């Protein structure tokens, strides 16, 4: 190319998975989970072939344990719990025994026998309708790949980048790749595969590595060492950026850095409006290994612990003791702050409760949430007992999902009373005053909030579901995404009605759906009278700062005006006006 002439700038779009900007040449890594060679072994070699498999497992376990302690040293935290889960996969008898059997019965070489068993396992995982759980296949692939490498004692060959600073571009990255990244060299990464819910993305956010997933280009088409900008805010990989683009991003980086350090300085500060109205700002978690992120975020508690994610590693809920252990850990680590443990909300777009049941024609209107718990009293009892046991270790509250009417609340509370009596008899300590609340996420519950409020200690509005049920638009269906509007007049009227009923009965109302983390809508929610917001750990600092910048009186006046509007866009504009007025620098 003649001097002074630029290659044209190319912009690839992806999904923003971890915020931040990286400016550096790309380093491209190709990898895949490819089949090893298959060959028949003589019967006499079956024992030695099985031994080879066991040794590969042992080497892998040692590597994972080492990786885990390296990660602990690096982060001082326990994201490395992920690798404990990896070790558990290697110890899973159903996998190990099947491989040993394949080697002896089919007389296949160990690598292939292992590969075939893992492929079956992965295939089963991919069929799980929950996108979060489907993403856990990345963890299993990661472990499988390590074992395959270790058959040849080839050691640990991770995608290594060059020693210079770069943006790593890969087809996909395993969580262990992300965890062991040299963060002085890898300034950010982009992958063709992946989703925001993958562990890889979770770790990137935990470590503050800008990341984009689901890139709309085949990675092999990207030329190594091309100058690039990775934009983790909007999900872009820009190749051959022009000097103007570079300048724009450098300015943006400086501005973001300024915002970030001011937010960091405020972490843990009280979340109170400028006119003195306090708000509780807590975090949502799915897995215990997100606790480190929560602590770092400055959140004042857990407003929603989605316990259905305990189903991740099996087809059944863990037993009472296993659940009590997990809940107690969360309660202890978050103490003295409150942890709201939601009972199982499987079904809908999440993991099916009983994988062997036929798929439902309308899963969102079917067997999910409290309906399942009430129909499975033994399972429900174990979960309630586990939550009660955890309440001896910190401040714990219990919450029922998908409540549509009074009788579900009565039956749920009845089970709580029975479990309390049992534990008392068994002399097991628990908190007798443990608050019991409900999710308001079915329009019927919002409309009857005045009937429900006298029965419970708090309401938490699940806007993700409340919106979908109110406007009859599936929350995961892109064809009706246009209709799925948090500021639809019907939605905000239901929120208002819920809060009014709660206030009249002396209980508080929180919001734990995604709407709570959208700082464009913080003025609206505060104005409507919400007293608690529970958001993803990453959103905590920004939502906290938004709260501290707003006046409750001004938000309430705006919310009154919003309630008189007939169009969602107008309601959004009203809220946005206050957001722009008070924290323009926080809005992306």
Residue 327 CB, nearest distance to Mg ion (Å)? 20
Three-state DSSP class for 7? coil
Cα–Cα distance between 298 and 574 in angstroms, integer?
29
Q: Which does 190 bind (CB under 5 to 8 A by kind): Mg ion, ligand PEP, none?
A: none
Binding mask 453-472 for Mg ion (x = CB under 5 A): ---------x--x-------
Instruction: For 97-152, list the strands marked E by DSSP.
Output: none
Q: How many residues bind Mg ion (CB under 5 A)?
A: 3
Output DSSP code: residue 539: G
Write b or e for each residue in 114-149: b if 16 or more Cβ atoms lie within 10 A of its Cβ, otherwise e. Answer: bbbbbeebbeebeebbbebbbbbbbbbbbbbbbbbb
Q: Which does 463 bind (CB under 5 to 8 A by kind): ligand PEP, Mg ion, none?
A: ligand PEP
Cα–Cα distance between 443 and 470 in angstroms, integer?
6
Question: 575: which 2 tokens?
Answer: 């809220």
Q: Of 419, 512, 552, 582, which residue is the catalytic one?
A: 512
Active-site residue flag, 512? yes
Q: Which is nearer to ligand PEP, 412 or 513 (CB)?
A: 513
Judged by CB under 5 A, does residue 510 bind Mg ion? no
Cis preceding-peptide flag for 442 (omega within 30 of 0)? no
Residue 423 CB, nearest distance to ligand PEP (Å)? 28
Binding mask 428-457 for Mg ion (x = CB under 5 A): -------------x----------------
Q: Which is nearer to ligand PEP, 285 or 419 (CB)?
A: 285
Q: Which does 512 bind (CB under 5 to 8 A by kind): Mg ion, ligand PEP, none?
A: ligand PEP
Q: Of 166, 199, 337, 582, which residue is the catalytic one?
A: 199
Residue ranges binding ligand PEP (CB under 6 A): 304, 306, 345, 441, 462-465, 512-513
> For residue 187, which phi and psi values (nearest 5 degrees)?
-85, -15
Active-site residue flag, 27? no
Q: Which is nearer to Mg ion, 20 or 462 (CB)?
A: 462
Residue 402 CB, nearest distance to Mg ion (Å)? 7
Cα–Cα distance between 344 and 373 in angstroms, integer?
7
Residue 61 CB, nearest distance to Mg ion (Å)? 38
Residue 48 CB, nearest distance to ligand PEP (Å)? 50
| Residue 443: Cβ within 10 Å count | 18
Q: Which does 135 bind (CB under 5 to 8 A by kind): Mg ion, ligand PEP, none?
A: none
User: If residue 191 lies in a helix (H) or strand (E), which one and from where to where?
Assistant: strand 186-191
The residue assigned the tokens 């983790």 is 232
Cβ neighbours of residue 563 closer than 8 Å, sequence gap 6 or more: 489, 492, 493, 496
Catalytic residues: 199, 512
Chain contacts with Mg ion (rule: CB under 5 A): 441, 462, 465
């Amino acid at each position: 190319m003649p001097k002074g002439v630029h290659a044209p700038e190319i912009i690839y779009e992806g999904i923003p998975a971890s915020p931040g900007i990286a400016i550096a040449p790309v380093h491209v890594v190709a990898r895949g989970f490819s089949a090893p060679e298959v060959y028949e072994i003589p019967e006499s070699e079956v024992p030695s072939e099985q031994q080879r498999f066991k040794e590969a497992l042992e080497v892998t376990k040692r590597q994972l344990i080492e990786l885990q302690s390296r990660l602990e040293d690096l982060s001082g935290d326990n994201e490395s719990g992920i690798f404990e889960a990896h070790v558990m996969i290697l110890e899973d008898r159903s996998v190990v025994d099947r491989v040993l059997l394949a080697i002896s019965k089919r007389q296949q070489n160990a690598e292939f026998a292992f590969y075939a068993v893992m492929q079956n396992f992965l295939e089963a995982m991919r069929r799980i309708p929950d996108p979060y759980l489907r993403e856990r296949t990345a963890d299993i692939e990661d472990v499988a790949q390590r074992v395959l490498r270790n058959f040849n004692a080839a050691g640990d060959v991770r995608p290594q980048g060059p020693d210079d600073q770069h943006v790593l571009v890969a087809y996909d990255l395993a969580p262990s790749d992300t965890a062991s990244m040299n963060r002085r060299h890898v300034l950010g990464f982009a992958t063709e595969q992946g989703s925001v819910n993958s562990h890889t993305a979770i770790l990137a956010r935990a470590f503050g590595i800008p990341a984009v997933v689901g890139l709309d280009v085949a990675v092999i088409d990207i030329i190594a060492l091309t100058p690039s900008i990775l934009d983790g805010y909007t999900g872009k990989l820009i190749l051959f950026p022009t000097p103007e683009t570079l300048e724009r991003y450098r300015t943006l980086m400086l501005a973001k850095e300024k915002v970030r350090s001011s937010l960091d300085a405020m972490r843990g500060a009280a979340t109170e409006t400028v006119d003195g109205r306090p708000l509780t700002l807590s975090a949502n978690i799915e897995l215990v290994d997100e606790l480190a992120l929560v602590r770092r975020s400055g959140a004042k508690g857990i407003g929603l612990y989605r316990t259905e994610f305990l189903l991740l590693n099996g087809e059944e809920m863990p037993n009472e003791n296993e659940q009590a252990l997990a809940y107690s850990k969360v309660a202890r680590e978050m103490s003295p702050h409150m942890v709201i443990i939601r009972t199982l909300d499987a079904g809908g777009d999440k993991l099916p409760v009983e994988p062997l049941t036929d798929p439902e024609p309308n899963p969102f209107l079917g067997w999910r949430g409290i309906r399942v718990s009430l129909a499975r009293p033994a399972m429900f009892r174990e979960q309630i007992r586990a939550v009660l046991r955890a309440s001896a270790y910190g401040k714990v509250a219990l919450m029922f999902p998908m409540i549509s009417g009074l009788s579900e609340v009565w039956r749920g509370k009845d089970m709580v009373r029975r479990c309390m009596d049992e534990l008392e008899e068994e002399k097991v300590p628990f908190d007798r005053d443990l608050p019991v609340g409900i999710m308001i996420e079915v329009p019927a519950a919002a409309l009857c909030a005045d009937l429900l409020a006298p029965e419970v200690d708090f309401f938490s509005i699940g806007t993700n579901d409340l919106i979908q049920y109110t406007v009859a638009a599936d929350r995961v269906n892109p064809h009706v995404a246009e209709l799925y509007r948090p500021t639809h007049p019907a939605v905000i009227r239901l929120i208002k009605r819920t809060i009014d009923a709660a206030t009249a009965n002396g209980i508080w109302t929180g919001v734990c759906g995604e709407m709570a983390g959208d700082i464009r809508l913080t003025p609206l929610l505060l104005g409507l009278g919400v007293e608690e917001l529970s958001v993803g750990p990453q959103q905590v600092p920004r939502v906290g700062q938004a709260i501290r910048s707003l006046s409750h009186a001004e938000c309430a006046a705006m919310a009154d005006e919003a309630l008189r509007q007939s169009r969602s866009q107008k309601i959004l504009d009203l809220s946005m006006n206050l957001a722009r007025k008070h924290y323009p620098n926080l809005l992306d």
